[in-house]
Amino acid sequence: MTFGARLHNLMGERGPLCVGVDPHPSLLSAWGLPDTADGLERFCRTVVTAIASEVAVLKPQSAFFERHGSAGIAVLERLVAAAREQGALVLMDAKRGDIGSTVQAYADAYVDPASPLCSDAVTASPYLGFGSLRPLLDAAAAHGNGVFVLARTSNPEGGAVQEARTSDGRNVAVSMLAQAAVENAGIEPLGSVGCVVGATLGGLGSLGIAQGDLLINGPLLAPGIGAQGAAVSDLPRIFGAALPLVMPSVSREVLRAGPDGAELRASTFALKAQVNEMLIE
């Protein structure tokens, strides 16, 4: 089954909420854990036990594991396996991007089942050109996995590149959305190439993005809910008819409820209820 089909089914069962697993040093400290690989392990075990069976997608940020070297990567490998055992899809937030054999190596690492880091999907940066991601896109498709391409990210600095105009008059973000739509054309129930469009952006029209541009027949990862300032209630205004494609992404909004597992679950359920109510309205 393709990633898009698995995601479509699981969003129907569990709702579209995506929870980021971002073990910042300050968060580890707030949980009373050391900023070590052992602290990371305990953090991840708590998160997986509390919520991996409740959400459609867990999104570990690779950088917070990489900073601990090989021991941190080993924790990340175990997190991926444990989350998937609980039925969650794993979106590896690695934002990789390069050309040629290097992109193929990233594909081998993140979307090939032969790798212990293989996840259901990975985030990718297309700013060496969308076509530079071809080895990653092809490998993901061959293995039934997905890729989320950065289009218009939630950080204000992103506009310097993503709102620049291409030779056909579209801005770069719209061009990325359009090329993702080509990858997903004709695929049912949902394509496996997603895009990242921040929930903090406000009016997309002022950014040169029409709501119709978001209809890519693939998932839209919407970071920025909670600590970055966006609210679940902002999503209908931003995404319009593309709302059924949206995966709202939260991290600190849930994780700060730890280290108590019951509190983590309660925080997750509260956000899931908000998202589900928003979809019904």
For residue 136, how far is the Cα from the chain centroid? Answer: 16
Q: In the block, which residue shows the tokens 């002022």? A: 206
Structure tokens at 166: 């291409």
Structure tokens at 256: 């700060």
Contact 273, 267 (CB under 8 A): no
Give catalytic status of residue 95 as yes or no. yes
Backbone angles phi and psi of 85, in degrees to 5: -65, -30
The string over 118-129, giving b where at least 16 C-beta atoms fall within 10 Å of a residue's C-beta and e elsewhere, is: bbbbbbbbbeee
Q: Which of 78, 95, 170, 256 is catalytic?
A: 95
Nearest Cα to Cα of residue 17 among 281, 278, 268, 277: 268
d(CA 89, CA 167): 38
Backbone angles phi and psi of 152, in degrees to 5: -125, 100
What is the DSSP code (8-state) at residue 206?
G
Q: In the block, which residue shows the tokens 């609210």? A: 231
Among the residues of the chain, which ranges form H helices?
A: 3-14, 25-30, 37-51, 63-66, 69-85, 100-110, 134-142, 159-162, 172-184, 235-239, 252-255, 261-280
Query: Based on the number of CB atoms within 10 Å of its own CB, is 185 exposed (0-12), middle (13-18) or buried (19 or more)?
Result: exposed
Tell me which residues are annotated as active site.
95
